[in-house]
Amino acid sequence: MMAGKRHLLAPGPTPVPEAARLAMARELIHHRGPEFKAVFEEVQKGLQWIFETDAEVLSLTCSGTGAFEAAMINFTRRDSTIVAIGGGKFGERWAEVGSAYGMKVVEVAVPWGESLSLEVLAEVLTATPEASMVTVSASETSTGAWHPVEALGRVVREHSEALFAVDGITAVGVQPIPMDAWKIDVLVSGSQKAFGVPPGLAFVAASERAWERYADSDHPRYYFDLGRERDAQKRQQTAFTPAISVVLALKEALKLMEEEGHEALFARHQRNALAARAGVEALGLRLFAENPANSVTAALVPDSVSAKAVVRQMRDAYGVTIAGGQGDFADRLIRIGHIGFFDGFDMLVAMSALERALADQGLDVDFGHGVAAAQRVLSA
């Protein structure tokens, strides 16, 4: 059986709303002209709104990993010490970037699926008084786990002079992560997640405390020189050629997010997350994260089942694209995305396809059980 209609339910890239698709279909404009400046100014204001910050939110034409690298090399020195909180592929990526630039990296090991305890972080910082930056992935996309960002930030400020840098790539626009209120020094995100536009843009916002460190940074940089970008973007320009069509789409996506409002936006993501969790648990799967994020539901399949086969069957036979696990969990985990412009009926589609794919793998599935569990959450 070959699927007809396709449903993208991965944790990124995410479906692009119609208004954003139409914006990308329009005739291209010049990025140095007044029309682009007007669009970019709206985008800048919208990004500040969703980041909940008075700081400039810089747009870079790159992936989220580029934002990691930019954050690292603009606000530290070559001889800096980085405390990198692990717990998954993206938490560990901060450490990889720091190591690539020859900095001393203190990795705080966190078992995948778990969240770092405040006591452990305090102990590490007490033992590492020279730390210049502490990094964490708020919503660890590879495991579906949420780190207690606000509380971790307080521990950093109480025990260190280090900057607190947060990967918000699958957190911004999903659940509260107010940059200014939580005193986050560096917050990054990416266009293809909650913003619901294609990959190509990454965002970096930095506190004034971080910008003071910029003046002392001695890393070599050119394309990722955030000082150069800050100067250009104060004039509603970018230092280098931007992804113009993605910027046009982002303007429309931000408009939709603002119309929905922070409270409703976060509530919708939570409702979809709760429905997905209820559905997979009703089918006998175990949630992987002890403190699940609202961006993605990661669940362990039974030992008799191949997660890769489930993902493949959902995609090829039923037209529903989810994601598998990463690293050691590549064939143990399935990950259902509910980040971006999804509604409850998308969760029902995911549960229905999951039921059939699990049955195809030989499990005794009570059809409708996962769907019903999700329905009860959505109708509550």
DSSP 162-188: -EEEEE-TTTTTTS---TTTTT-SEEE
CB atoms closer than 10 angstroms to residue 111 = 12
Number of domain units in the chain:
2
Question: d(Cα 136, Cα 290) in Å, to the nearest integer?
Answer: 17
CATH of the domain at 283: 3.90.1150.10
Residue 161 lies in a domain: yes
Residue 130 lies in a domain: yes
For 4, list phi and psi in degrees, rounded to 5: -100, -85
Question: d(Cα 45, Cα 221) in Å, to the nearest integer?
Answer: 27
For 9, list phi and psi in degrees, rounded to 5: -125, 40
| Summary count for the chain: helices (H), strands (E) | 13, 15
Q: Which of 206, 225, 259 is the last residue of a domain?
A: 259
Looking up tokens 């008799």 gives 304
Question: d(Cα 292, Cα 145) in Å, to the nearest integer?
Answer: 5
Q: Are residues 274 and 372 in the same domain?
A: yes
User: Residues for the chain: how many in total?
Assistant: 380
Which two three-digit tokens encode residue 10? Answer: 């991965």
Q: Which of 259, 289, 306 is the last residue of a domain?
A: 259
Q: Are residues 190 and 267 in the same domain?
A: no
Q: Which amino acid is at 268?
A: R
Is residue 132 within 8 A of residue 278, CB to CB? The reply is no
Q: Are residues 90 and 65 in the same domain?
A: yes
**Residue 143, domain extent:** 18-259
Q: Are residues 116 and 93 in the same domain?
A: yes
pLDDT per residue of the chain (380 residues) written in tens, 0 to 9: 555 789 999 999 999 999 999 999 999 999 999 999 999 999 999 999 999 999 999 999 999 999 999 999 999 999 999 999 999 999 999 999 999 999 999 999 999 999 999 999 999 999 999 999 999 999 999 999 999 999 999 999 999 999 999 999 999 999 999 999 999 999 999 999 999 999 999 999 999 999 999 999 999 999 999 999 999 999 999 999 999 999 999 999 999 999 999 999 999 999 999 999 999 999 999 999 999 999 999 999 999 999 999 999 999 999 999 999 999 999 999 999 999 999 999 999 999 999 999 999 999 999 999 999 999 999 98
Q: Which of 198, 233, 259 is the last residue of a domain?
A: 259
34 CB-near residues (< 8 Å, 6+ apart): none
Is residue 190 within 8 A of residue 12, CB to CB? The reply is yes
Is residue 360 within 8 A of residue 320, CB to CB? The reply is no
Closest CA to 12 of 243, 186, 271, 201: 201
Chain centroid offset of residue 57 CA:
16
CB atoms closer than 10 angstroms to residue 280 = 27
pTM: 0.97
Q: Are strands 333-337 and 296-300 parallel, antiparallel or unpaired?
A: antiparallel
Is residue 74 within 8 A of residue 163, CB to CB? The reply is no
Question: What's the order of all strands across the beta sheet hosting 296-300?
Answer: 286-287, 296-300, 333-337, 323-324
Q: Are residues 209 and 277 in the same domain?
A: no
Residue 2 lies in a domain: no
Looking up tokens 């409270």 gives 263
For 211, list phi and psi in degrees, rounded to 5: -65, -30
